[in-house]
């Protein structure tokens, strides 16, 4: 009997003998899923990962991951990159994430760090004369390059990866500055599949005398909003939920005005005429959604509202994959508590050459030679041109509040390397797990990693982390305090 649900459904097997080659307990979770059957809870799937990995969907994800890795290696090799392994035990450095520490068995009281990336080692390899680019996994570095060169390398890899996943992507990718992305989309990871930009309406609404806006238009606050084509289909419940989302993100709320024929309604509808609505791009059957405040508040609010509106209205994307580069990021950003400069990405990113003179007087206005690759609102990876002048590197470290003694203690080996003469160099790291997840159409990064951790950094299958043996702790000169 044929079974169209199976790949081997045209083959019928008639057993003449049955031999047990190994005992097996009843599986704790199903290893096959029929049509319409729900998956077990993710926590169970992670706890019994050896069973979960039997599912055809998981095996297909890992096979895709394998093909993508091989394609990336082949592409980079064809571009004359050299694969070099860098240490996995190194010195703690502030690269944007907290390191795990590994105690030394032979040096009591001293620790290694598990590095988040091989960043410093990549730079030192450039100093060592590897003018051919270098990459570890998909973390690449190249000497005697500028930003355009690095973006070209990365585009070649991404186009080939998407080709391996069955998608044809055109290059070169368009570019936009960080400031433009924040202004038009409220995020540095814009989803460009949809035509729904954020617009500054301050000048248009100021003469209307809307109380909701007048009380807040001070200290650099602006009225910004979205002119939603066909937004008249949004219900009052939809708008109320959007307003709640805006308040949850710290916004003042969400004002709205809807036009249907000659009828104008909404929370601020009485202040608008058809002509005024036309001035902000709201036509018949449309809705205007707006908020007021400083950009640091209105940008994330309107980004969230934009996403929600697209989903609620079922807006069709104009293109399947909208790749873009976001460039000219700020070099520093203010610490939320102290207001002092902290590095926006990592402290080895070179300042824009036009802005170096302002490092001391106006650090927040300095742009970085940093770039992100974005597809459909997902960041695929980041990179930058690096600082090669040890004096500039010291100035950046000083802006982060490090003393000369601390700089030498923590980064002396890097500065010594730069003083030997560093070629201009830059690099990029592709988020390979996320790339694989997107191409597999998976709902979670954990679905494309064989043995992943939970969001609380636990390995449920292996039962890690776990308490250490007291004898092992004594050998490492460690004591665990309750």
- Over 90: is that where the pLDDT of 146 sits? yes
SS3 of residue 223 by DSSP: strand
| C-alpha torsion sign, points 235, 236, 238, 243 | positive
| CA-to-CA separations, 447 to 408, 436, 452, 480, in angstroms, rounded | 43, 10, 8, 35
pLDDT classification of 109: cutoffs 50, 70, 90? confident
Average pLDDT (167-178) is: 96
Which structure tokens are listed for 351? 């300042």
Which structure tokens are listed for 242? 């959007």
- Helices 432-440, 147-164: crossing angle, 10 deg rounding: 40
Q: Give the pairing type, strands 82-83 and 134-136.
A: parallel
Compute φ and ψ for 204, nearest 5 degrees.
-75, -35
187-214 burial: b if 16+ Cβ within 10 Å, else e: bbbbbbbbebbbbebeebbeeeebebbe
- Over 90: is that where the pLDDT of 240 sits? yes
pLDDT classification of 3: cutoffs 50, 70, 90? confident
Say which residue, 229 or 27, is predicted with more confidence: 229
Average pLDDT (109-138) is: 72
- Tell me the helices (H) and strands (E) count for the chain, helix number first: 15, 17
Q: What is the pLDDT of residue 134?
A: 53
Which structure tokens are listed for 231? 């937004």
| CA-to-CA separations, 420 to 78, 85, 259, in angstroms, rounded | 30, 22, 67
Q: What is the pLDDT of residues 305-342, one digit of tens each?
A: 999 999 999 999 999 999 999 999 999 998 888 888 88
**Contact present, 89 and 102 (Cβ < 8 Å):** yes
Strand 255-260: give its sheet, edge to edge: 199-200, 222-228, 287-293, 255-260, 263-265
Q: What is the pLDDT of residue 8?
A: 80
Q: What is the pLDDT of residue 98?
A: 64
SS3 of residue 30 by DSSP: coil
Phi-psi domain of 57 (left: phi exceeds 0; alpha: psi -120 through 50; beta: other): alpha
Q: How far apart are CA 227 and CA 204, in angstroms?
A: 13
Average pLDDT over all residues of the chain = 89
Q: What is the pLDDT of residue 112?
A: 82
For the chain, the first-to-last Cα distance in angstroms comes to 64
Q: Among 146-150, 183-187, 217-221, whose mean pLDDT is lowest?
A: 217-221
CA dihedral 393, 399, 401, 402 (to 10 degrees): 10
Say which residue, 397 or 183, is predicted with more confidence: 183
Q: What is the pLDDT of residues 25-48, one digit of tens each?
A: 888 998 887 778 889 999 999 999
H helix runs in 362-446, sequence order:
390-399, 404-419, 432-440
Q: How far apart are CA 366 and CA 315, in angstroms?
A: 38
Q: What is the pLDDT of residues 425-462, one digit of tens each?
A: 999 999 899 999 999 999 899 999 888 888 888 888 88
Q: How far apart are CA 190 and CA 379, in angstroms?
A: 9
- Could you give all domains of the chain from N- to C-terminal order, each with its CATH number? 68-99+117-177+323-439 (3.30.930.10), 194-313 (3.30.1360.30)
The burial of 473, by beta-carbon neighbours within 10 Å (0-12 exposed, 13-18 middle, 19 or more buried), is given as middle
Q: Which residue has the tokens 């005005």?
A: 257
Q: What is the pLDDT of residue 96?
A: 47
Q: What is the pLDDT of residues 252-290, one digit of tens each?
A: 889 999 999 889 999 999 999 999 999 999 999 999 999
Say which residue, 221 or 93, is predicted with more confidence: 221
The burial of 23, by beta-carbon neighbours within 10 Å (0-12 exposed, 13-18 middle, 19 or more buried), is given as exposed
**Contact present, 449 and 433 (Cβ < 8 Å):** yes
Q: Name every residue whose Cβ is closer than 8 Å to that of residue 303 and which is 6 or more positions away in sequence.
A: 185, 186, 187, 198
pLDDT classification of 93: cutoffs 50, 70, 90? low
| CA-to-CA separations, 315 to 306, 323, 407, in angstroms, rounded | 11, 19, 52
Q: What is the pLDDT of residues 366-408, one digit of tens each?
A: 999 999 999 999 999 999 999 999 999 999 899 888 999 999 9
**Contact present, 149 and 172 (Cβ < 8 Å):** no
Q: What is the pLDDT of residue 236?
A: 92
| CA-to-CA separations, 479 to 100, 103, 106, 110, 271, in angstroms, rounded | 17, 12, 17, 14, 68
Q: Which residue has the tokens 């003018």?
A: 131
CA dihedral 99, 100, 102, 107 (to 10 degrees): 40
- Over 60: is that where the pLDDT of 85 sits? yes
Half-sphere exposure of 127 (CA within 13 A, CB side): 21
């Amino acid at each position: 009997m044929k079974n169209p649900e199976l790949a081997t459904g045209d083959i019928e097997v008639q057993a003449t003998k049955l031999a047990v080659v190994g005992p097996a307990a009843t599986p704790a979770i199903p290893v096959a899923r029929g049509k319409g059957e729900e998956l077990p809870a993710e926590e169970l799937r992670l706890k019994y990962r050896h069973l979960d990995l039997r599912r055809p969907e998981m095996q297909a994800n890992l096979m895709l991951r394998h093909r993508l890795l091989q394609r990336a290696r082949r592409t980079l090799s064809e571009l004359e990159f050299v694969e070099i392994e860098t240490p996995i035990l190194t010195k703690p450095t502030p690269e944007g994430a907290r390191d795990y520490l590994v105690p030394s068995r032979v040096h009591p009281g001293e620790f290694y760090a598990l590095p988040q990336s091989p960043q410093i080692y990549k730079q030192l390899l450039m100093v060592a004369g590897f003018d051919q680019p270098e990459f570890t996994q998909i973390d690449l570095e190249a000497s005697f390059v500028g930003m355009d060169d690095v973006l070209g390398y990365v585009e070649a890899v991404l186009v080939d990866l998407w080709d391996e996943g069955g998608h044809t992507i055109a290059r070169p990718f368009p570019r936009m500055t960080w400031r433009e992305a924040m202004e038009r989309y409220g995020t540095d990871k814009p989803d460009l599949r949809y035509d729904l930009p954020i617009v500054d309406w301050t000048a248009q609404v100021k003469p209307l005398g809307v109380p909701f806006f007048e009380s807040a238009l001070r200290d650099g606050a602006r009225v910004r909003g979205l002119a939603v084509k066909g937004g008249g289909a949004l219900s009052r419940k939809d708008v109320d939920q959007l307003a709640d989302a805006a308040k949850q993100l710290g916004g003042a709320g969400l004002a709205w005005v809807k036009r249907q024929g000659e009828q104008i309604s909404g929370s601020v509808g009485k202040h608008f005429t058809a002509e005024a609505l036309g001035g902000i791009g709201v036509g018949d059957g449309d809705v205007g959604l707006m908020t007021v405040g400083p950009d640091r508040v209105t940008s994330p609010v309107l980004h969230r509202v934009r996403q929600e509106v697209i989903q609620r209205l079922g807006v069709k994307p104009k293109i399947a994959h909208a790749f873009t580069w976001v460039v000219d990021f700020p070099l520093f950003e203010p610490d939320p508590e102290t207001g002092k400069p902290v590095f926006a990405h990592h402290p080895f990113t070179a300042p824009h050459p036009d802005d170096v003179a302002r490092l001391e007087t106006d650090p927040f206005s300095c742009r970085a030679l940093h770039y992100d690759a974005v597809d459909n609102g997902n960041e695929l990876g980041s990179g930058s041109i690096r600082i090669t002048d040890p004096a500039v590197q010291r100035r950046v470290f000083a802006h982060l509040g490090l003393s000369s003694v601390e700089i030498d203690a923590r980064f002396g080996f890097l500065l010594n390397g730069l003083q030997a003469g560093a070629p201009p160099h830059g690099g990029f790291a592709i988020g390979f797990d996320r790339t694989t997840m997107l191409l597999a159409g998976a709902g979670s990064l954990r679905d494309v990693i064989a043995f992943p951790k939970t969001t609380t950094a636990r390995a449920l299958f292996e039962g890690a982390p776990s308490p250490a043996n007291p004898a092992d702790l004594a050998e490492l000169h460690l004591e665990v305090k309750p």
